[in-house]
Structure 1
C-alpha cells in the first residue's frame, strides 16, 4: 500500500503549524503583525522550505506585505532555532519567505467583476428606457 503523504509533505505540514504558532506568539517585530502561513513547500531533500505568507489585512498596501516579508526574513535565524527545538529533524530546512498574494488578487478580480456587472446593469436599464420612449406601442399593452 502506497503512502498517502511523502516525508517532505509531512514535514511541510509540521513546519506550517509550528511557524504559525511561533510567529503569533514569539516574533515581536511589529512588521510581522497580521500575517498567516498559507502553505509550506519543502524540497524532497528537506534542505529548503518555501514559506508562503499571506496578509490578513488585504486592504493594506502592497508595501506593508513587503515589510512583513522583510520582518520574517530578519527573524529567520530565530525561527529556525525555535523550530529546531520543537521538531526532531536531522537538518532544519532553510526558510525562504515568499508573499502569497492570492487573497489580494482575488479581491481585486472581485472588484473588477462587480464593476462590470454594475456597468452592464446600468447600460441595460438605460437602453431599456430608450427603447420604451422610441416605441409608444410597446408600453401600452
Structure 2
C-alpha cells in the first residue's frame, strides 16, 4: 500500500475521528484539557504505528499535562480504538504537540491589534 493511497487516506480520517471521540468523551484523566483537538493523524502503511498531532488551547502547563495524560492513557486509547475501528492491526499511537491552532489565534490577535492601531491613526 502506498503512503498516500486512497485506502490509507480513508484510514487516517477514520482514526482521527475515532481518536477525537475517545479523547473527548472516553478518558476521565483530569490532566487532559477539555480544549484538546486532534489536528491530524498519519497511520503507517503497515498499520503498525500512528502519529497523532494534538493541539491544546491554553498555557504551556496545560500542554505538558495533557501530553502526559495522553501518554499514560495510550493503552486505554489503543484498546478503545481497536473496539471502534476494525483493522487488521491496531497501531501504536505516538502523540505529537501541534502548535498551529495556538499560532493562528496569536497571529489573529496581532493582526487585530495592528488594524485597530491603524484605524486610530487615520482619525
Q: TM-score range by the shorter chain?
A: 0.7 to 0.9
1:92-131 superposed matches below 5 A:
92-125=90-123
- Return the TM-score normalized by structure 1: 0.73
Partner of 1:73: 71
- Residues 29 and 69 in structure 2, CA contact (< 8 A), matched pair in contact too: yes
Written as runs of structure 1 = structure 2, the 5 A alignment for 1:19-38 is 19-34=19-34, 35-38=36-39
TM-score of the two chains, using structure 2 as the length reference: 0.82
Alpha carbons of structure 1 residues 114 and 24: separation in structure 2 relative to 1, 3 Å: closer
Structure 1 residue ranges, 4+ long, deviating more than 6 angstroms after superposition: none
Structure 1 unaligned runs (5+)? 126-141
Structure 2, unpaired ranges of 5+: none
* Rg larger for: 1
For the aligned residues, what is the CA RMSD? 2.0
- Provide the rounded CA distance (Å) in 2 between the counterparts of 1:16 and 1:64: 21
Which structure has the higher relative contact order (CA within 8 Å, separation 6+)? Answer: 2
Residue pair 1:8, 1:46 contacting (<8 A) in 2 also: no
Decide whether the 8 Å contact of 1:66 with 1:99 is kept in 2.
no
